[in-house]
Structure 1
C-alpha cells in the first residue's frame, strides 16, 4: 500500500512538472495491473494524460485490469486503429472479457484478424456467461491424444516456439477430444521415454463443467490448493483450463462486490466520476434508506403519549436498538459469508439457528443486567424503567439473531443478493423491534402509574 502511494505521488509530481520522460520510465517499470490501479487513482484529466503515455503493447492488458467505468471511458476516447492494436497478442480469455466493451465494428475486425483456430476457441469462450467456468476458461492449452510415447510428446513440445502461459499440465484426450487425464510437465523427464504417455497420466486431475458457477470454482481452487483446472463441456470434450491467477481475480471481485453492495455502491464505478453522475447513482440507495427511516419514525410515533410523560425513555431507547443492531449484524455477516463460502446451507441452517439463538440469549441476559443497573445508576431513574430497558434489550438481541440467520436465506430465495439488502433490512428490523418492544413494555407497565 505504501509503495503504491509513493508511485502515485511521484507520478502526480512528475505530471505537474511536465517530466514526461520520468513518467514513461515509471510506467515501463510497472505491471499492467499496477498501471491500472494508478489510473483509477487519478482524476479524469490527469488520467487522460497518463493514458497517452502508456506503452501500446501494454494497453490491452491495462484495459482488462481497469474497473468497468474507467475502462469504458478510456475506450471511448480511442479510435478503431488504437483499439485493434491494443488487443494484439492478448490471451484469448482476456480478449473475450475485453471485447464485450469494444464497439461492434472493432470487435468484428479483432476477431477477423485471428487465425481460424483462435476464432473457434474465442467463440467457445464467449458462448458462456462470464460468471461460469466457461467464461473464465483459457483455451490456450496443450492437449495430445492417448497412445503416443513420452519421447514423441517431448519432441512435439520442442518444436513449439513457446509453451502457453501457465502450462504445468499436458492434457490427454481421445480421438473425439474427450478429456481423459493430465500429465505434469515435470514428469516427462522423470520416466522412461519409451513408455506410453498413459503410464504417467493422472486421472485424478478432475475437470469442471463449463457451466459451473465461478464461486464454486473459486472454492475448489481454495480447498484443493489447485494451480490449474481443466474445463469440459457437457459431452466431456476438453475446452481449456482455468488458472489460479484468474481465480484470484474472481475472489477479489467477490470481496469487493460484497463490501460495496453493503453501501449500495458498485465496485465497477469510477471513484472520480462526475459529481452529477455519482449523485444519481447514490440517490436511489439514499431514498430506500429514507423510507426505512420513516418506518422507524412511524413506529416511535405510536408511543408519543408515553414519551411525553416519561422523557427519560427517549434517552434510553437508542441503547435497545443499538445493541440489537450490533448483535444482529454479527449473525448476519457470519451467515452471508458462510453461504458465499458454501459452509452454510439449508441442511445445517436449523442447527446454526439454534446455536445463534443460544448465543443471543446468553449475551442478551448478561448485558441486559448490566444495562439495567447502569440505567438506574447513571440516569437516576427507577428500577422499573431499568428492568424494562434490560428486558427489551434481551428480546431485541434474541429476535435479531433469528433475523440474522433468516434474512440471507429469504433474500436468496427471492433472487436478491443478501450482501446488498441484508444490512438495510437488519437495521430497520432491529430499530423497529427495539423501539416497539421498549416503548410497548413501558406503556404496558408504566403509563398507568404516571
Structure 2
C-alpha cells in the first residue's frame, strides 16, 4: 500500500462492508477490510443451514477469495475493540487475544447487529439466536439431537418435551425457522424413526404482536398465518417470553393475564437485535447519539455528525427508520463508497436515499411471500420469485450453482443432505473467538 493514498478502513464483511469494498476496489485508495471471521455470510439463508438444507459453504465465502481481484484491498481477521478518533486509529484484537493498531483516513463502520435478549443474557445459554454460523450449527445440533434423544425415551412428558420446539419472535427469521422445523418433522424425518413419530413434534411460535410478519402487508401476514397453521405450527400472539431455562419457557400475556409455562427442550430466539459492543464504543468516542438498540445517529450522507471521515452503514444506521435488512446495507455500502470517491475529486457528497426493493420470507417448500411495492406474491409464485432473488444476490458463481443444485435435490427428495452435527462444542453465544479467554470477550 502507498503512504500517500487515502486509507479506508471498513469494519465488517457483511453486505454493507462487502459492497463498499467492491465499489472501492479500483479507486485510488488503499482499503483494509476487517472482519471477525474473514468471511462473508449470507444471513438471509442462515436458517436453511441450521435446518440441514444448505451447508456452510453454500452461504459463506472467504473475503480473501472475494477480494482477490482487487489489489488495493487488504483483508484482515480481527475484532475492532477500541477507537481513537483523534489519532484516527482502531485497535484490533486477534483471535489469540493480542492486539494491533490500524490507522485510517476514512472509517466505514459496518459491524452490524447481534442478538438481543432484552437484558436477559442468561437466556442465551438455552435459546441460541440466529446471527452467525456458530448459531446455525448450534441450532442444527439441537434440532436433530432432540429427535435422537426422544427416540431413546419412553412415551411420556419427558419425550414430549424433547419433541416440543419453541421459537420466540414472529418476524421473518422466526417464521422461517418454525416452518422449516415442521417441514423437517413431517417430511425429512417422517419415516426414519421406530419409537417416535416425528410428525408429533410441536412447534410453538411466540410473538408480542397481533400478527406475524408485521413488516409485511396484512394480506401476506394473513397468508403466512394460514400456511403456518396448515403446517402444524401453533401460534401464540400477544405474549412475551419472560423466562427461559433448560426445561422450557415462561410466557406472559402482553396486556397482563395468566402466566403460562411450556415444556420445550429446544428453544430458539429471534425476538430482537442490538448493536455490537464496538458500535457503542464508536458512539461514545465520537460523541454521537444512539437509540436504545445502539443505532447511531448520522447525517444525511451517513457520516457521523462532526466526523465527516466516519461513515456508519447497514443495521447500525439510526436515521429515518431505515430497516435492518440486507438491501439497506448493500445500498449504504455503495453510497459510502460513492461519497469517498466524490471526496477524492472534490465533488460534494449526495444524501443517502434508500430504495425499498421489497421483502421476502420462505415458509416451506412451495410457500414463500414476496412484497415489492404494490406487488404481493404468495404460495408457489412467491416461492419461485424468492428463489430467483436469493440466487441473484449470493456471492460467487459456484455458490449459486451448488445452492440451486441442492434446492432441486431437496425438492425431488425429502432428504436434507447437510444434517451432520456433533454433540461436542455447543456454543450458544455468538461472536466469541475460539481462543479468547472469557475476560477478553466481554
Q: TM-score, normalised by structure 2?
A: 0.24
More helix by share: 1
Greater relative contact order (CA < 8 Å, ≥ 6 in sequence): 2
Q: TM-score, normalised by structure 1?
A: 0.23
More strand by share: 2
From the CA coordinates, give the structure whose radius of gyration is larger: 1
